[in-house]
Amino acid sequence: MVDLDGVGMTSRRTRERLIQRLKDNGIKDQQVLNVMRATPRHLFLDEALSHRAYEDTALPIGFAQTISQPYIVALMTQLLLSRGPRKKVLEVGTGSGYQAAVLSQLVDQVYTVERIKPLLDKARARFRSLEMRNIICTHSDGGIGWPEHAPYDGIISTAAPEGVPDDLLYQLAPDGLLVIPVGSENNQELRIISRVGDSQNYDEEVVEKVRFVPLLSGVTR
């Protein structure tokens, strides 16, 4: 049985403290806050770490990767929804599956790609046991997006390239939004890039300094 409510350090009260912290740090979108409250982050971690699931920190998920900090997940999701609802969204970097799980409750369809096979397999099992049927995932290099399902109303990258990959821009629908950390390991900024109508022009805004794992090319089995 899936433990949705959680006990002790994963209890409702512990979760509520996290939501309060997100509010204090500027997350205002009530829909995003509600989904963050309802999403069992402890189920996206190995059992040994699940008691820390509602701390506002990134945590290891193996293979030198991390589940993103809740504040960052909330911020990226809020940004993605900040210019009207999105139907079809691509995530680059499935990792634990947590960000995709949050998105799946706010948009119609989530496509997500991961380059490390064992991480993808675990995430897929989580989506299945949580009955999140609008998440479609695959094992591939997301630096080239997922062209078969393009265009997307929104794209979120949870790994940081040195520069914005053109393929991601080309896979945006008219007025589509790309939320992406860009830069080298110690000097990254979160950007929100919007396609202007159906043109090939893009507006860009820097949101804040961030620290993500790097976007790597190729896949590992």
Q: Report the catalytic residues.
A: 68
DSSP-based three-state secondary structure for 186: coil
Cβ proximity to ligand SAH: between 141 and 175 the closer is 141
Cβ proximity to ligand SAH: between 101 and 193 the closer is 101
Tell me the residue number closest to ligand SAH, measured at CB.
95
Exposure string over 49-87, b if 16+ CB within 10 A, otherwise e: ebeebbbeebbebeeebbbbbbbbbbbbbbbbbeeeebe
Site for ligand SAH contains 213 (CB under 6 A): yes
Spatial neighbors of 192 by CB under 8 A, at least 6 apart, are 79, 82, 177, 178, 179, 204, 205, 207
Site for ligand SAH in 110-149 (CB under 6 A): 113-116, 119, 141-143
Site for ligand SAH contains 39 (CB under 6 A): no
Residue 168 tokens, joined: 């991601």
Site for ligand SAH in 68-97 (CB under 6 A): 68, 92-93, 95-96
Cβ proximity to ligand SAH: between 53 and 172 the closer is 53
What crossing angle do the helices spanning 30-38 and 12-24 adopt, rounded to 10°?
150
Q: Which residues sit at the interface with ligand SAH, rule CB under 6 A?
A: 65-68, 92-93, 95-96, 98-99, 113-116, 119, 141-143, 158-159, 213, 215-217
